[in-house]
Amino acid sequence: MKAVELIHARIAYSESAFAELVLWRLPKPLERSPHGYKYRLAYVVRGECVLRYDNEVGKGDHRHFDGKESTYVFTTPDQLIADFQRDIARWNHENRNS
């Protein structure tokens, strides 16, 4: 089985903000990501990536938020997207006056 692209989307939130979501089902799991998916979800505001979820080879599942990297516990693709959307809402709320 080859890798199968499940999602490749760019979503505009405003003139200066967008999210890009890329999700693949893999024929075999990545090192440190045993679930069998490869993903990169990014939220970009005014040209700067302010939020990112990914599972870079060798690093495993993690997210970048507020300038910090932390471990992310992947359960399902649907939950990944829900968590990402929740963090976009949180970032927008915390930065609404900037």
Q: What is the pLDDT along the chain (98 residues), one digit of tens a residue?
A: 799 999 999 999 999 999 999 999 999 888 888 999 999 999 999 999 999 999 987 889 999 998 899 999 999 999 999 999 999 999 999 998 77
The enclosing H or E element of 27 equals: none
Could you list the residue range(s) of the whole structural domain that residue 50 is in? 4-94
> How far is it, in rounded angstroms, from Cα 5 to Cα 65?
25
| pTM > 0.85: yes or no | yes
How many structural domains is the chain composed of? 1
Per DSSP, 35 falls in state T
